[in-house]
Chain A
Amino acid sequence: MFKLPDGFTRHVGVLLMMAVLSACGQGGDEKAEAAAVTPPVASPWQSGYEDIGRTAKPAEVAAWDIDVRPDFTGLPAGSGSVEQGEEIWLARCAACHGDFGDSNKFFSPLALGNVTPQDIESGHVAALNDPTRVRTTLMKVATVSTLWDYIDRAMPWNAPKSLSTDDVYSLVAYLLSLDYIVDEDFVLSNENIAEVQARLPNRNGMTQDHGLWKIDGEPDVHNTACMTDCESSVEVASSIPSFARNAHGNLRDQMRSFGPFQGVNTSEEQGEKMMLASEDKAPAAPKAGLAASAPMDLLTSNGCLGCHQVDNKLVGPAFTAVAKKYADREDAVAYLSQKIRQGGSGVWGGATMPPMAQLSEGKADEIASWLAQ
């Protein structure tokens, strides 16, 4: 048996006291607050955890410390041209963002070529506050490091962290050229990126002068807790238009079906048909054919569903259309597996499917066999 260290009983005593105190601390919220932040009671060994965790090795820090700050701390040396950027863009980015970064199929447009020379001159994008204009990434961003850091860590969306340092430089250069921030023959590098920052259209567009950063910051608004006769007139300024009542689906099915506040049936006008359809749900709903056997895990985790749906064309062809096209082809599995891993374009139109090199041959075969079944 081991000896109880001195002071053990004293600590137990304190613990008990604390328990009693916090049990009494209900009701007044001051007391509850105090109970919630009860200072920890130290055991004799309380700070004996010095040896937990280990020193990170330089190579480990280098592998993960990829952030790039506005002052370019963390930016690796390298370079890339607009021209190279365009090539990589068309192969790996355009399918989602459009050839000129103008698509809103997957995300808001990155660029619309509408930044003005005056914006570049002043460092404020004038159209940001124009409600008729789409706010693009290049209109909003105030720091070029943000684009570099983000593309490097997260794009392409379906295969993040697969670009080389020079790829990232060239893609940032290409993106900036779409809004004429750099010329077509520009080569971006760690040497000249600060000059580009000095041309960024919204570089002066940010403020940190507000009360929402610090916990004791000054609020924007000081309402008063008036209790009686507070408003002289109450006027409803907006409500959900009746045509949009069902836009989020039937609200009846989004509320608990018992209790005092049940859901309003927002698809009333559809009447009996709706009800009968839902009664017959079981046979109507099942996924037929291809969808039923889809390797959903693989398709989801590899980002295929970003560009493909089973039954409908998205960026790429519907998988049902692919299956149909190759139904009679002998080497369909081999062909599709290779195409999935290597990507390509021209079979279904102009759009490019990026290479899915992260997929092992086995996994690609699995998807291909599903399509060729």
Chain B
Amino acid sequence: MSGKSDKMGTSEKEFLAQAYTPSPTVPERPGSFGQLRKAPESFLEKSTIEAVSQSGVDENRRRLLRTSFTTALAGMLGAGLSARAAAAEGDPDILTLPPWSKSLGNAVATNPYGQPSKYEANIVRRQSPGLTQTAQASVSFSPLQGMFGMITASGLHFERHHQGWVDVDPRRHRLMINGLVSKPMVFTMDDLMRLPSVSRIHFIECGANTGMEWGNAAVPTVQYTHGMLSCSEFTGVPLSLLLEHAGYDKARGKYVLAEGADGSSMTRTIDIERALDDVIVAYGMNGEMLRPENGYPLRLVVPGVQGVSSVKWLRRLEVGDKPYATKDEAIHYVDLMPDGQSRQYTSIQEAKSVITSPSGGQRLMTKGYYNVTGLAWSGRGTVKRVDVSFDGGRNWYTANLEGAVLPKALTRFNIGWVWDGKPAILQSRVVDSTGYVQPLKRQLKEVRGTRSVYHNNAIQSWRVMESGEVENVQIA
């Protein structure tokens, strides 16, 4: 640790340097709140650093500095001289009590529906610029880089709409079951919510997730590379129960068509074996009703299958004896192979994993210990094991599985790592309960060629540079 830290300077310039030198009383631990750390370059714009070293801090720049430093400094500059004195004795955030310790807090139900802290404003869904021509036939990506555990907060669940989202009046919503059934039926929400229910945690991943990365590294952060992925607890009626209830034709019924109530009336064909297995006609999501963007008041959840099959605003289920070749299974969501044929009805999301922290666009603050974490999942079963490499796939270490390990659900993994300050390439690789090992991109390309974009479950690489900056790269 630097011995300069206890030196009291008189100029503002020295003050700045001093404020960012680790205090001798606080051990240097990355990620610790009480740490007084060296200013990462990224906090200060270059021109400001130069201007400050030339002329010290005038009032105008002090304002500027305050905003750029809010996170690292938390009021030290504002507190002026006393803070300066305090820094020598210890952490000013300990020595000078913050306002929230010295005031009355807000009333209960100030926000009748609770909101995240204002300091979390960066962790939101985002569109990828230029990906789609319109904002209604588009995607917003989940901020995986800022999430923990296996559950996606409902407000952060990724969105994929084809004709905008709608807020359906639940009292006017109906579910119809027709086709090869002994009795075509209609259910209201009241009916459905009276029926026996299940609650299960499942991921939903768009078949096009990581599709932008098929050719080469194209987008900067895990939000855009992998963010068409979310995981929630869904509550609803098992589809098998409803199919039995309507008396589906067990001899001839081979497929179920699901249809939405929105403008696009999205339709998708579901295999009867899937339909009778673990598919849920869901109204609940993470303990509350579905969000409108996620299909309020009723959606299908087809675990392990690409998200487009989990039809939102579900209004109709039809049992049939042949697949339907709807727009999103005959023009899109087909995988073009090197021989010019397109694979139709590619559904299963095979085992995949990604490190979310650290990931592209982030920066490691110092050398030393980091808890590296990420997500693993498989549409064919459970996560058996996750291995992590720090040298681009030469050597691998088995990670801890953190929290519950459930079928067709996200599984959080973590592994301790000490960064020595040298370039490194981080990767994760999942093995699922069928023994399937997450593939390398080059292995996928050998079979699927260069034009396929869906179902890219290749191992993701993040390069850590000497500066600590992490970037999205692909390995040959």
Contacts and interface: CB of A to CB of B under 8 A. Distances in A.
A145 B475 CA distance: 43
A146 B344 CA distance: 13
A286 B329 CA distance: 43
Interface stretch (A134-142, A349-357, A365-373): A134-142
Interface stretch (B11-19, B82-90, B105-113, B334-342): B334-342
Interface in A248-306: 248-249, 251-266, 268, 271-272, 274-276, 278-279, 300-301, 303, 305-306
Given A37-B407, A251-B221, A260-B370, A157 B163 contact: yes
**Majority DSSP secondary structure for residues of A touching B:** loop
A107 B265 contact: no
Contacts, number: 388
Given A55-B183, A106-B133, A234-B392, A275 B364 contact: no
Contacts of B405: 29, 32-33
Interface in B341-394: 341-348, 350, 357-365, 370-371, 379-385, 387, 391-394
B296 to A, nearest CB: 16
B47 A271 contact: yes
A104 interface: yes
B362 A215 contact: no
A306 B137 CA distance: 10
Contact of B324 (A29, A52, A67): A67
B394 A237 contact: no
Interface stretch (A13-21, A80-88, A174-182, A202-210): A202-210
B407 A275 contact: no
B317 to A, nearest CB: 11
Q: Report the contact-size class of chain B (Cβ under 8 Å from the partner).
A: 35 or more
Contacts of A335: none
Interface stretch (B20-28, B94-102, B437-445): B437-445
A173 B115 CA distance: 52
A257 B176 contact: no
A328 interface: no
A154 interface: yes
Interface of A: 26, 29, 32-33, 36-37, 40, 46, 49-50, 52-56, 60-61, 64-67, 69-71, 73, 104-107, 124-126, 128-129, 131, 135, 137, 140-143, 145-146, 149-150, 153-154, 157, 160-161, 205-217, 219-231, 234-240, 244-245, 247-249, 251-266, 268, 271-272, 274-276, 278-279, 300-301, 303, 305-306
Which are the 8 A-B pairs with shortest beta-carbon distances? A234-B392, A251-B361, A260-B31, A238-B216, A212-B346, A261-B362, A237-B476, A29-B405
Given A217-B348, A262-B71, A272-B64, 13 more contacts: A29-B405, A67-B324, A125-B340, A149-B327, A160-B264, A212-B335, A228-B394, A237-B216, A237-B475, A238-B217, A240-B219, A240-B471, A255-B146
